[in-house]
Structure 1
Amino acid sequence: MFKRELLPPTALLMAFESAARHGSVSRAAQELHLTQSAISRQVGQLETRLGCALFHRVRQRVVLTDAGRVYAAELRQHFEALSAATQRVMTLGGGGEVLNLAVLPTFGTEWLIPRMPRFADAHPEVTVNFSTRSEPFDFEREPFDAAIHFGEDFWPGASCDFLLREDVVPVCSPALRDRHGLRRESDLDGVRLLHQSTRPEQWSEWFALGEVAAQQAMRGPRFEQFSMMAQAAASGLGVALVPRLLVSELLDSGRLVVLFDRALASSKAYYFVMPESRARDKLVLAFRRWLLEEAAAGAAGAVA
């Protein structure tokens, strides 16, 4: 139970958060359509209530104190949560149901979203909201009903349903293949290799799988997301190791080609994650059932 008497007026909090975010009273005044003196007065009132300074005044700028930095970060999280809650209620106000899903960015863009029209046709009353998360999180603190995760089949306080495994293959543009005469795996030694930043050992593992000596397996630019790396490869920057299922459109269009059939099988996989608190939620269970069917169909198609 929160203590209502400790909560400062919202106007004071918004004035402080805006000034903290901009590092400027004048820009906060512009954003909130107030005068600079009004913003300064509201921040001063907040500091009085809290009993500590939130800013150092340096000429025309305001610089957060240690206490101000902590408070601003906490306020921003709560304002974002309130904004998200308001959006959800507004969506519900129009009727229907809402599912908030956390997804991996490239998997969501390349694999899940192209399949979503089938779910939408089967469940026209449901609105699915997508947010990207690349790492496991606490469902108690994040406003999500479910998530799609790549890794091991474990998530504290949740169940994991297997979806798909990856087969990772080397790809590049046809022009780069022809320019360098890439016909054998050993030809890659001397070509720029593109790396996924969270999988720095992957090229070394791929070369080792074929017992190919490679002096430069760890060299080359690194990318945070597979989608960026795939586009770099399609543009001719180098050769990338990517999961085949995440570049099917680029392969079908001919912008990327698979250089060699030898694939690196990952020990990890994609999972649908459902928190224990949603174990009986009919909407989450309906999405889970549909997603598992799509994954099974996709896996069967890949084998065929």
Structure 2
Amino acid sequence: MRHRRFLPNLSLLLAFDAVMREGSVTRAAADIGLTQSTISRLIQNLEEQLSLPLFIRHRKRLVPTEAAHRYYRDISAALDLIQRSSMSLIANPEGGTLDLAVLPTFGTRWLAPRLPQFLSAHPGVSINLTTKFSRFSFDAEPFDAVIYYGQDDWPDAAHLKLFDERLTACASASFLAQTPVSTPADLGGMVLLLLPTRPDAWAAWFRGQGVSVPPQVNGMMIDQFSMMIQAAISGMGIALLPDYLARVEIAEGRLCPVLTPAVPGNGAYWLAWPLRKKELKPLQAFRNWLSTTQA
């Protein structure tokens, strides 16, 4: 509950803010268009409501107490927040805040470079990003939506497909110079870097190379694509990356593709949101933008 005693009328707070900011009743009155006597009366009413003196009266001047200085820091920030929120609402009534859960590497490497386009088109909308590896319940977590990898099976949610995952195997140039790869069979005995959340990814990649039975290989588990990329650059093995990641590393010359690139994977990237939030304006704007954004 909000108690009225601790929520002074806005006119009282504006008068207090003006006196603190301007340093005198005279200048405060001119600043907000009231008479000096009205400013003095509002300050007195505020002190009575708080049961606390905020100023020392000295030769017709109001000298703020230490308590007044502490109170002013908070009240000034609160008034600024109210003003900014009101201005934002008037400038963009379709704005608001979207709390989004996202996979870490997807967020940094795919979403973040594209977000300025969205924010430029929707200046009133702000997005809060939180990384999430595992699934959660929208009833238990304060998220408006999630971007995840897999199938369209998030419980009690609506879904928008962003794009299918395609896989590219990559290794450093020095690694391939020492252990050339001309056919899928050449990967036999090599170290293949694995992501625990993609246990069948290498099998899908070998199918994309036309091989139904993969050769015997050595696997090394790494729990994030960013770490896998660095491991491959260091020559620890061959990384299997989503094509949107592999393209960046290949273009920068840090990794080289192995055999046929961009073969179909087993899943896709999805936006999911709870059914109860389908009318949320920031979510609608974000969803519409994603539906027209190229992978």
Q: Is the 8 A contact 2:99 2:145 kept in 1?
A: yes
- Secondary structure of the equivalent of 1:199? coil
Q: Is the 8 A contact 2:147 2:272 kept in 1?
A: yes
Deviation at 1:179, TM superposition (A): 1.7
Q: Is the 8 A contact 1:163 1:271 kept in 2?
A: yes
Task: Give the percent of matched residue pairs that are identical in Structure 1 and Structure 2.
Answer: 39
Q: Is the 8 A contact 1:106 1:226 kept in 2?
A: yes
Aligned partners of 1:134, 1:232: CA distance in 2, in Å? 20
Aligned runs of 1:71-90 on 2, under 5 Å?
A: none
Deviation at 1:212, TM superposition (A): 6.9
* Count of equivalent residues: 208
State the Cα RMSD in Å. Answer: 2.5
Counterpart of 2:179? 180
Counterpart of 1:98? 97
Deviation at 1:90, TM superposition (A): 11
Counterpart of 2:74? none
Aligned partners of 1:103, 1:280: CA distance in 2, in Å? 21
Counterpart of 1:292? 291
Aligned runs of 1:263-302 on 2, under 5 Å?
A: 263-294=262-293, 297-298=294-295
TM score, norm. by length of structure 1: 0.63
Q: Is the 8 A contact 2:205 2:264 kept in 1?
A: no
Counterpart of 1:216? 216
Deviation at 1:211, TM superposition (A): 2.4
> Which stretch shifts more, 131-140 or 159-168?
131-140
Judging changes above 3 Å, is the alpha-carbon distance between structure 1 residues 90 and 181 closer, same or farther for their aligned structure 2 residues?
Answer: farther
Q: Is the 8 A contact 1:186 1:213 kept in 2?
A: no
Gaps of 5+ in 1: 1-88, 299-304
Q: Is the 8 A contact 2:205 2:265 kept in 1?
A: no
Q: Is the 8 A contact 1:186 1:212 kept in 2?
A: no
**1:153 and 2:148 correspond:** no
The residue type equivalent to 1:157 in the other structure is D
Counterpart of 1:144? 143
The residue type equivalent to 1:174 in the other structure is A
Q: Is the 8 A contact 2:187 2:215 kept in 1?
A: no
Aligned partners of 2:175, 2:79: CA distance in 1, in Å? 50
The residue type equivalent to 1:211 in the other structure is V
The residue type equivalent to 1:99 in the other structure is L
Counterpart of 1:162? 161
> Which stretch shifts more, 93-102 or 253-262?
93-102
Aligned runs of 1:1-304 on 2, under 5 Å?
A: 94-95=84-85, 96=88, 97-209=96-208, 210-211=210-211, 214-217=214-217, 219-261=218-260, 263-294=262-293, 297-298=294-295
Q: Is the 8 A contact 2:191 2:236 kept in 1?
A: yes
Aligned partners of 1:197, 1:214: CA distance in 2, in Å? 18
Q: Is the 8 A contact 2:168 2:246 kept in 1?
A: no
Judging changes above 3 Å, is the alpha-carbon distance between structure 1 residues 269 and 131 closer, same or farther for their aligned structure 2 residues?
Answer: same
Deviation at 1:174, TM superposition (A): 1.2
Gaps of 5+ in 2: 1-77, 89-95
Residues 106-161 of structure 1 show CA distances to partners (whole Å, capped at 9, x for unaligned) of 11111111101111211222221100112221111111111112111122221001
